[in-house]
Amino acid sequence: MKFDRYPIPDEIKKNLELLGFRKPTDIQYKAIPSILNGEDVLAVAQTGTGKTAAFAIPVIAKIHGQKSSKRSLGIKCLVMAPARELAMQIGDVFNRIERHTRVKTFALVGGVEQDAQIQKLQDGIDVLVATPGRMFDLISQGFIRIDRIETLVLDEADRMLDMGFIDDIRSVKKKITRQHQTLFFSATIDKDIKKLAFSQVKTSAIRIQISPEDRVSRNVSHAVMMVAMDDKRFFLERYIQDHPESKIMVFVRTKVRAERVVKAMERVGIETVSIHGDKDQKDRSLGMSAFRHGQCRILVATDVSARGIDIPDVNAVINYDLPTDPENYVHRVGRTGRGTRKGVALSFCSPEEAGSLEAIEKFLGKPVDRIEVTKNEYSETIAYQGKGDDVMALIDAHEDLMASRKKKKKS
């Protein structure tokens, strides 16, 4: 099956070809026809499987077909997203797919001056991608009307539920006065997500669930290294230095930890950028742009800021801190190995994080390959279960660290 089999405009088909979309992914193959037919869709699919394009392609095709010029007929589609970076990323996907069509998309986020955003809205748009805060602010000021919306998309719905956006979703539904299509996309499904989904979509909604046996993509080789908390920065430094061409995402537990890692890498001459909730939107956007375009190859992030982000060609994910929520492990490692690309994910687990590792392995239904490190005053024993040059590089790093400590003791 190729995209030219779908009843979508030639402009979109050409854009998809230029973007390297050869054939639909499983979620695209199953979702696009139903969305084109105007049906409500409840879709659950693993991260990195092309969910955004699965709704962007048919939404753009439908709006393009309704218009005879670029002139806006009012906002026809609203895409709600839980985080600013994700909203901007979705907007970028829409902008790329809609090139040379009659569709105009705008991503609306908080943390920046609103005057330019208001001007963009007044110029006329067809698709609004937004985070709830700034959107409701501009609705209350009378700059946004969503009563004419024909398609509502709830993306990363599981994360929206976690972040307490359920009342915002319900408020939006009340403001949409006409019959409309609802597209509900989520990376995970549980009883709370099911309850939310079924309260938002029609009872006749098409349900699509792509559930691979392994929660982590087969494109990702992942392993965990047992290492003391204070040693983590040494191993991160070594891994970065051993992979001078790699684009690497480093996940930490808190905003404070993010800045500590940035400063630790700066002290050894490694340039990094960071994104987290304490940084203003301008700095977050500049950091994401630098990482996305390869001007800086190391991004340090917290879970809230990086959930759902799709950066091209991320070679490796380092879990500097293990997540306390096992599902976040899957989302983190899913930042690499996206589409048909291969990736590596390595986690540093301190003794204090043993409970988190146990929870992650229970969630995955299998143990994670690990590097066990046992130390005493006179010798080091490395018990290794795993494979791959990237994991071996960490073993080498540990051996170097231990040798360095012995040398210092003797002197």
Q: DSSP letters of 9-74?
A: -HHHHHHHHHTT--S--HHHHHHHHHHHTT--EEEEE-TTS-HHHHHHHHHHHHHHHH-SSS---S
Domain with residue 205: its CATH number is: 3.40.50.300
Examine the domain organization and report whether 243 and 387 are in the same domain: yes
- Please report which confidence band the pLDDT of residue 305 belongs to, taking 50, 70 and 90 as the band edges: low
Task: Please state, in angstroms and rounded to a whole number, the distance separating the CA atoms of residues 142 and 175.
Answer: 13
Q: What pLDDT, on a 0 to 100 scale, did the predictor assign at position 382?
A: 38
Dihedral (Cα; 275, 276, 278, 280), 10-degree rounding:
40
Structural domain of 403:
220-410
What are the start-end ranges of the H helices in 67-184? 84-97, 115-123, 132-140, 157-162, 166-175
Tokens of 402: 């231990």
Residue bearing tokens 């301008």:
282
Domain total in the chain = 2
Examine residue 215 and state whether it is found in any structural domain, yes or no. no
Q: Distance between CA 139 and CA 128 in Å, rounded? A: 12
Residue 302: closest CA among 269, 325, 271, 268: 325
**Do 82 and 307 meet the contact criterion of CB atoms below 8 Å apart?**
yes
Q: Which residues contact 80 (CB under 8 A, 6 or more apart)?
A: 130, 131, 132, 135, 152, 153, 154, 155, 160, 165, 168, 169, 172
Q: Which residue has the higher pLDDT, 372 or 349?
A: 349
Range in 96-100, 174-178, 195-199 with the lowest mean pLDDT: 195-199
Residues 182 and 233 in one domain: no
Where residue 318 falls among pLDDT bands split at 50, 70, 90? Answer: very high
Q: Name the domain boundary from 210, 244, 275.
A: 210
**Tokens of residue 329, six digits:** 């492990």
For 316, residues 6+ apart whose C-beta sits below 8 A from its C-beta are 239, 243, 246, 247, 248, 249, 336, 343, 344, 345, 346, 390
Q: What average pLDDT does the chain have?
A: 86
**Which tens digits make up the pLDDT trace of 118-158?**
999 999 999 999 999 899 999 999 999 998 899 999 998 88
Residues 384, 313 share a domain: yes
**Structure confidence at residue 167 as a pLDDT band (50, 70, 90):** confident
Per-residue confidence band for 17, with pLDDT thresholds at 50, 70 and 90: very high
Q: Give the tens place of pLDDT for each residue, 229-288.
A: 988 998 899 889 888 989 999 999 999 999 999 999 999 999 999 988 788 878 888 888
Q: 369 has which bridge partners?
A: 223
Whole-number pLDDT of residue 31: 95
Residue 223 near residue 388, CB atoms below 8 Å:
yes
d(CA 127, CA 106): 6
Contact 88, 108 (CB under 8 A): no
Give the HSE-up count for residue 99: Cα atoms under 13 Å, Cβ half-sphere.
11
pLDDT category, 383, cuts 50, 70, 90? very low
Does 322 have pLDDT greater than 70? yes
| Side-by-side strand order, sheet with 298-301 | 273-275, 298-301, 248-251, 316-319, 343-349, 220-226, 369-375, 380-385
Is residue 185 located within the same domain as residue 249? no
**pLDDT, tens digit, 9 for 90 and up, residues 47-95:** 778 899 999 999 999 999 998 888 888 999 999 998 888 899 999 999 9
Say if pTM beats, i.e. exceeds, 0.85.
Answer: no
- Examine the fold and report which residue of 210, 243, 259 is the final residue of a domain before the chain moves on: 210
- On whether both 262 and 369 belong to a single domain, the answer is yes
Q: Say whether both 130 and 258 belong to one domain.
A: no
Confidence of residue 314 (pLDDT cuts 50, 70, 90): very high
- 237 and 174 in one domain? no
Question: Are residues 291 and 400 located together in one domain of the fold?
Answer: yes
